[in-house]
Chain A
Amino acid sequence: MAPPLQPANSHLKATKAATTAATRAATRPGGTRAAARIDWRAKLRHFVQVVAFALAIAGIQYAFTPQRPLGPPMVYSLLIATITWAIIDLGRELFPSSAQTGWPPGLQGLGLVVTGIVVGYLAGTALAEALCVHVFRFYAAGAHTAALDVRSSLIISALAGIAGTYYFYTINQAAYLQRQTAQALHQASQARLKLLESQLEPHMLFNTLANLRALIGTDPPAAQRMLDRINDYLRATLAASRATEHPLRAEFERLRDYLELMQVRMGERLAFTLDLPEDLATHPVPALLLQPLVENAIKHGLEPKIQGGHISVSARREGASLVLVVHDTGVGPPPETSAAPDAAHDAGASTADAQAGVSDGSGGFGLAQVRERLATAYGEQGVRARRADELFQWGPAEGGGTRCRITIPLQP
């Protein structure tokens, strides 16, 4: 693995300037913008590697037939390799998906390689023939078209093209995976930071402590139970910083800690149910994925509603998918979530906070973050490619309230 990883690392270095999550997110969707970001230093490096590879092939050919001159195979090899390389390595930038994976998907990728090799061979051979005859004068026109030569050079071109493509494809894949991993780690730390912020959010913190203070006087055992919840909740957050994924069981336990804390505070205004089937309990999910959704349900759903309401979180199997649903019976999303500039007229949300949180269609920072984490973990890759709106749906629930639905592939 050492040689392919070497260029992969330099790849990462080359794109380092653009590796903040924000710029990556901003440049991801546009194919045209991605095409404008061709890394020419990487291309030059590829070209040098291709030339070296072509010279090596010519050298091997010469080694097998030392009675022939070295010149012609070198010219042929270099030209075929250069043209093939140019078509494949530069051509792939025309496909939008290359910006992310570095490679056109499926048949398009295959077509590109075949085109590259065929055109590279035909054009390279023709050009090399012309050069050998007219420029270098290795031999006279028509003297070098033996059937055996055609067949062997075709085979050599095809094999070399495939080998080269495979080599670069592997490098790209490694770089892509590394980028993906880095992004997933970044988002996970963002999620934990957000969680810590919400724990240390002064209203949450001081109100929780105020409740604890009240309970110490009136109901010491209940105060102890509440303190235990706080401990579990804080400890879990810190523990989650060591893993980007954890089993659904752990996810649901964290939600229970949080909801029980909130229940002490909100009293009868908060009821909740958590439904996790036993056979899904060990299924891995991105750590604390649902936390912001449940926080939103409380903050924007139940807290503004005088009589409070109910939150249900459930996991279930639907075919090959794992479906997670967070549903609340709160005030629901604002009636208008249009993109009109003055769309912030929400009669229900009295605070600007609530407006910033839910009325901008994307659903504010909490929801945007969930969307992004899902897209990184499950979106647009391999045979299980999912579009963002398939992974995450958010909107008004039947009979009032808000419903979030996450659909991710079940792992075998």
Chain B
Amino acid sequence: MTTGPLTPPASSPTALIAEDEPLLAQALAAELATAWPELRIVATVGDGLSAVQRALELRPQVLFFDIRMPGQDGLDAAAQLADEWPPELALPALVFVTAYDQYAIQAFERAAVDYLLKPVQTQRLVQTVQRVRQRLDAHPQAQSAVEPELMARLRALLASGHAATMSPGASGGAVAPLRSIQVSAQVNAQGSAGNTIRMIPVSEVLCFEAADKYVRVLTAQQEHLIRTPLKDLCAQLDPQQFWQIHRSVLVRADAIDTVSRDEAGRQWVALRGLAQRLPVSRLYAHLFRAM
């Protein structure tokens, strides 16, 4: 974080760098000090979890996210940040830095967000800095206007099962839609259920919610826990039938009763047959924008 001998004033733009290779993080900071002397780097982190945590704490205006990072990758970190960023504030300008994530590069090529290829070349960095500065200098309205496009790109990438970080062939082929879900009775039962496996028809499921290592499967009557990750479930469910409204929530579209906005600006979905309300991420807010 060599920001030069002159410490810029506190009102100068701030940035966070998330990069797991320390030399590359240092090098990017050093290059930025030349290309954008006013920029103040408020934190450098080495993993995707701290990236979100520190960004929420420090609220920098620019984020440089490596795509491949431990903890969670840069795309997941961006999605989580979109979920947890205060709804009244515009998202920071996001620049992805990657050695080679062809799909991500293509996705962001003409989007409102920028990307840098490693090794980062000075000339290219200067261009990126210009673009980001224009965005920051622009009217806040103009800035939030680019957000839907960024969200759409990010959504597409996340939905494609991280084509960026996948090995070729791993994503190949459509999966037959899931008809029923196997739950071991042991996980949900109060008492000794033994080795019984219950089959829950997908048509009865109202909502899937990721919780820690499990996914909660909610029907009108019961709650079950399964270990299949939400990402895998997504690929096996009909996207017309189940809508993703949050990084960790899938709901049955025709069970949606109301969508309401609270005083903080956050949207909530209520389902028929379910007492619990479910949050809508700004990443998926487009689903209810036309209403």
Tell me the A residues contacting B by CB distance below 8 Å: 202-203, 205-207, 209-215, 217-218, 264-269, 303-306, 308, 336, 342, 344-347, 350-353, 355-357
Decide if A306 touches B232 in the complex (CB within 8 Å). no
B164 nearest in chain A by CB position = A351
In the bound complex, how far is the Cα of B29 from the Cα of A218, in angstroms?
12
CB neighbours (8 Å) of B22 from chain A are: 267-268
Interface residue from A218, A303, A344, A351 paired with B162 (Cβ < 8 Å): A351
Interface residue from B26, B46, B119 paired with A218 (Cβ < 8 Å): B26
In the bound complex, how far is the Cα of B23 from the Cα of A149, in angstroms?
92
CB neighbours (8 Å) of B70 from chain A are: 303-306, 308
A/B interface sample: 25 pairs, CB < 8 A: A202-B99, A203-B68, A203-B100, A206-B99, A206-B119, A210-B119, A210-B120, A211-B23, A214-B26, A218-B23, A218-B27, A218-B30, A269-B46, A306-B50, A306-B70, A306-B71, A336-B227, A345-B229, A345-B232, A351-B162, A352-B161, A352-B162, A352-B171, A356-B167, A357-B167
Interface residue from B26, B68, B117, B170 paired with A352 (Cβ < 8 Å): B170
Interface residue from A206, A267, A353, A356 paired with B23 (Cβ < 8 Å): A267
User: What 0/1 readout, one digit per residue, does chain B (261-285) give for beta carbons within 8 Å of chain A?
Assistant: 0000000000000000000000000
CB neighbours (8 Å) of A206 from chain B are: 99-100, 117-119
Of A210, A211, A265, A269, most buried by chain B (CB within 10 Å of CB) is A210
Interface residue from B99, B171, B228 paired with A210 (Cβ < 8 Å): B99
Q: A213-B119, A217-B30, A218-B26 are in contact. Are A306 and B47 (CB under 8 A)?
A: yes
Give how many B residues have a beta carbon under 8 Å from the other chain's beta carbons. Answer: 37
User: What 0/1 readout, one digit per residue, does chain B (150-163) give for beta carbons within 8 Å of chain A?
Assistant: 00000000000110
Interface: B213 (CB within 8 A): yes
Q: A217-B27, A303-B70 are in contact. Are A345 and B170 (CB under 8 A)?
A: no
Q: A206-B118, A266-B21, A342-B228 are in contact. Are A350 and B72 (CB under 8 A)?
A: yes
Decide if B21 touches A353 in the complex (CB within 8 Å). no
Question: Separation in Å of the B140 CB from the closest CB of chain A?
Answer: 34
Decide if A350 touches B227 in the complex (CB within 8 Å). no
Question: Separation in Å of the B96 CB from the closest CB of chain A?
Answer: 14
In the bound complex, how far is the Cα of B9 from the Cα of A232, in angstroms?
48
CB neighbours (8 Å) of A306 from chain B are: 46-47, 49-50, 70-71
Q: Which 5 A-B pairs have the closest CB atoms?
A: A202-B100, A214-B27, A206-B99, A210-B119, A210-B118
In the bound complex, how far is the Cα of B72 from the Cα of A37, in angstroms?
51
In the bound complex, how far is the Cα of B46 from the Cα of A304, in angstroms?
11
Q: A203-B100, A214-B26, A347-B229 are in contact. Are A269 and B20 (CB under 8 A)?
A: yes
A265 nearest in chain B by CB position = B21
In the bound complex, how far is the Cα of B143 from the Cα of A202, in angstroms?
34
User: What 0/1 readout, one digit per residue, does chain B (9-29) give for beta carbons within 8 Å of chain A?
Assistant: 000000000001111101100
User: What 0/1 readout, one digit per residue, does chain B (23-55) give for beta carbons within 8 Å of chain A?
Assistant: 110110010000000000000001101100000
Interface residue from B20, B165, B228 paired with A345 (Cβ < 8 Å): B228
In the bound complex, how far is the Cα of B178 from the Cα of A342, in angstroms?
12
Number of contacts between A and B (CB, 8 Å)? 102
Decide if B170 touches A353 in the complex (CB within 8 Å). yes
B97 nearest in chain A by CB position = A210
Decide if A207 touches B24 in the complex (CB within 8 Å). yes
In the bound complex, how far is the Cα of B161 from the Cα of A352, in angstroms?
8
Decide if B232 touches A213 in the complex (CB within 8 Å). no
In the bound complex, how far is the Cα of B169 from the Cα of A355, in angstroms?
13
CB neighbours (8 Å) of A357 from chain B are: 167
B213 nearest in chain A by CB position = A347
In the bound complex, how far is the Cα of B21 from the Cα of A218, in angstroms?
15
In the bound complex, how far is the Cα of B5 from the Cα of A386, in angstroms?
67
In the bound complex, how far is the Cα of B47 from the Cα of A117, in angstroms?
74
Interface: B83 (CB within 8 A): no
Interface: B76 (CB within 8 A): yes
CB neighbours (8 Å) of A336 from chain B are: 227
A345 nearest in chain B by CB position = B227
Of B23, B182, B228, most buried by chain A (CB within 10 Å of CB) is B23
CB neighbours (8 Å) of B161 from chain A are: 352
Known A213-B119, A306-B46, A351-B162; 12 more pairs at CB < 8 Å: A203-B100, A209-B119, A214-B26, A217-B27, A266-B21, A269-B20, A306-B47, A344-B232, A345-B228, A350-B73, A355-B170, A357-B167
Interface: B193 (CB within 8 A): no
CB neighbours (8 Å) of B170 from chain A are: 352-353, 355-356
Question: Separation in Å of the A347 CB from the closest CB of chain B?
Answer: 4
In the bound complex, how far is the Cα of B118 from the Cα of A351, in angstroms?
21
In the bound complex, how far is the Cα of B100 from the Cα of A205, in angstroms?
9
CB neighbours (8 Å) of A346 from chain B are: 229
In the bound complex, how far is the Cα of B72 from the Cα of A305, in angstroms?
10
Question: Separation in Å of the A94 CB from the closest CB of chain B?
Answer: 41
Decide if A211 touches B21 in the complex (CB within 8 Å). yes
CB neighbours (8 Å) of A211 from chain B are: 21, 23-24
Question: Separation in Å of the A352 CB from the closest CB of chain B?
Answer: 4
Decide if B227 touches A353 in the complex (CB within 8 Å). no
In the bound complex, how far is the Cα of B21 from the Cα of A303, in angstroms?
10
Interface residue from B21, B46, B165 paired with A351 (Cβ < 8 Å): B165
In the bound complex, how far is the Cα of B26 from the Cα of A213, in angstroms?
12
